[in-house]
Amino acid sequence: MRAIGHFIGGKEVKGTSGRTADVYQPMTGDVQAKVALASKDEVRAAVENAKAAQPAWAATNPQRRVRVLMKFLELVARDNEEMAELLAREHGKTIPDARGDIMRGVEVVEFALGIPHLMKGEYTEGAGPGIDLYSMRQPLGIVAGITPFNFPAMIPMWKFAPAIACGNAFILKPSERDPGVPMKLAALMLEAGLPPGILNVVNGDKEAVDAILDDRDIAAVGFVGSSSIAQYIYERSAATGKRCQCFGGAKNHLIVMPDADMNQAVDALMGAAYGAAGERCMAVSVAVPVGKTTADRLMEKLIPRVESLKIGPSTDPNADYGPLVTKEALQRVRNYVDVGIKEGATLAVDGRDFKMQGYENGFYMGGCLFDNVTKDMRIYKEEIFGPVLSVVRAHDFDEALSLPSDHEYGNGVAIFTRDGDSAREFAAKVNVGMVGINVPIPVPVAYFSFGGWKRSGFGDLNQYGTDSVRFYTKTKTVTSRWPSGVKEGASFTMPTS
């Protein structure tokens, strides 16, 4: 059986803790590898390697640092198909979707190629008599990223590409459920010319995470995962004075206004709710038709579409989506459907008992569709993270606006309408971090930035875009005066301009 260790100091090393976790192949249900779970000492070894390598990397000029990323992009393109297949086999998403996972990470690496420009400081001549000021951005030193299972290529790249481009060393703790692609990315960075020790991967669970959080040599932590863990990471990393940003779970609504193009809205809902088996933090899990007629028209079109979803193994290029990531995830999602029925929602399409012929032990689930879901139900309040769409009927625009605004999560939201006025008002007023207007999954492009509000994001600054440069650097400001500008005599009052 394949054994996955860690990537420390520029090479793959075996785990020494004696603890491992199973890595499944969700489409068959088989265990395909054992991943090592790092001990505190193994995390420390990664930190020591990072510490030794980082000063020289920070002193390497930014254009040379970026050339490594350029070479890395070539290598990712070379090995793209191999990586997409590995990703699909460990995660369960389809291979075309796995290509998208890689590509959205690549786009952030491309953004990071602009670091020589993005890291430039500011300069003011003559801020006082003979006084000039300038600021510079310096790397933080050693930074860490703790990432979830659902985008094993994209989210590690969102984290390490800007951090490393800024001159930091990086410690990645990917999800133990699909560690193959993060390990491959680290190997490609090395092949691209990154000095050993600048990108380390420690696989593991809570023990490795806690070791990262408590390590005083690590200056910043970026986390993506569920909200309860995000809050825990945020609080614990503050105890050692770390800079921290933690992105959490979601309950993304899609509002369908009476004037929306209904076919476009239904197409959008199908892809956004059921793509990747609903295991996306920007998946739409709540549809909000406005008015009874809109709701009835929407349900009439949605039901046959959900019933005819094509579910298949990850290697089937024609499948709409594949299996869920683990048996536990499948059980948890099925339980939520049971809860919804008990709470009184109408289960219009029931996919709980779907069985994939030839793959009977895989973690498959058919699409489920609930109607008449209300605000007080658990299936509305909690993140399900599976192929389950809930329809909440709103009477009017104000009610539709209040639903995502009052929800405890605030990651993404979308409105489908032809009316510019309501779209504009919705975008301005809704209490959510990322908004789509006739766009169902509004993940901003790489040169903007990504971040949810409320319990979807703890800490400051967003991921990627110029926010990531701020997050991974500290600003130093220099006030200078040369002898010709100095008047004789000591001054005891506070200098002002």
Give me the residues that bind ligand NAD (CB under 6 A), please.
146-151, 173, 175-176, 205-206, 209, 224-226, 229, 247-250, 281, 383, 385, 411, 452, 456
Strand partners, 311: 321
Q: Which is nearer to ligand NAD, 282 or 423 (CB)?
A: 282
Q: Which is nearer to ligand NAD, 206 or 481 (CB)?
A: 206
The CB-of-463 to ligand NAD minimum distance in angstroms stands at: 7
The CB-of-278 to ligand NAD minimum distance in angstroms stands at: 10
- Which H or E run contains 341? helix 327-343
Measured from the Cβ of residue 489, the count of other Cβ atoms closer than 10 Å reads 5
Q: Which is nearer to ligand NAD, 185 or 250 (CB)?
A: 250
The two three-digit tokens of residue 454, written as one number = 């409320």
Angle 378-379-385 (CA atoms, 0-180°, nearest 5)?
A: 125
- For 114, residues 6+ apart whose C-beta sits below 8 A from its C-beta are none
Q: Which among 305, 309, 330, 329 is positioned nearest to 319, based on CA atoms?
A: 309
- For 331, residues 6+ apart whose C-beta sits below 8 A from its C-beta are none
Q: Could you tell me the CA-to-CA distances from 239 to 216, 243, 437, 487 in Å, in that order?
A: 10, 10, 40, 46
> CA torsion, points 182, 188, 194, 196, in degrees to nearest 10?
60
Q: Which is nearer to ligand NAD, 25 or 411 (CB)?
A: 411
Residue nearest to ligand NAD (CB): 225
Contact 142, 51 (CB under 8 A): yes
Strand partners, 254: 287, 414
Q: Which is nearer to ligand NAD, 226 or 466 (CB)?
A: 226
The two three-digit tokens of residue 235, written as one number = 């609080």
The CB-of-247 to ligand NAD minimum distance in angstroms stands at: 3
Query: Which residue of the set 166, 246, 281, 368 is catalytic?
Result: 281
Three-state DSSP state, 453: strand
Distance separating alpha carbons of residues 198 and 164, to the nearest angstrom: 7
Q: Which is nearer to ligand NAD, 161 or 229 (CB)?
A: 229
Is 281 one of the annotated active-site residues of the chain? yes
The CB-of-218 to ligand NAD minimum distance in angstroms stands at: 15
The CB-of-176 to ligand NAD minimum distance in angstroms stands at: 5
The CB-of-37 to ligand NAD minimum distance in angstroms stands at: 9
Q: Which is nearer to ligand NAD, 143 or 260 (CB)?
A: 143
The CB-of-236 to ligand NAD minimum distance in angstroms stands at: 9
Contact 485, 130 (CB under 8 A): yes
The two three-digit tokens of residue 453, written as one number = 């509000």
Q: Which among 452, 440, 441 is positioned nearest to 410, based on CA atoms?
A: 452
Residues annotated as catalytic are 281
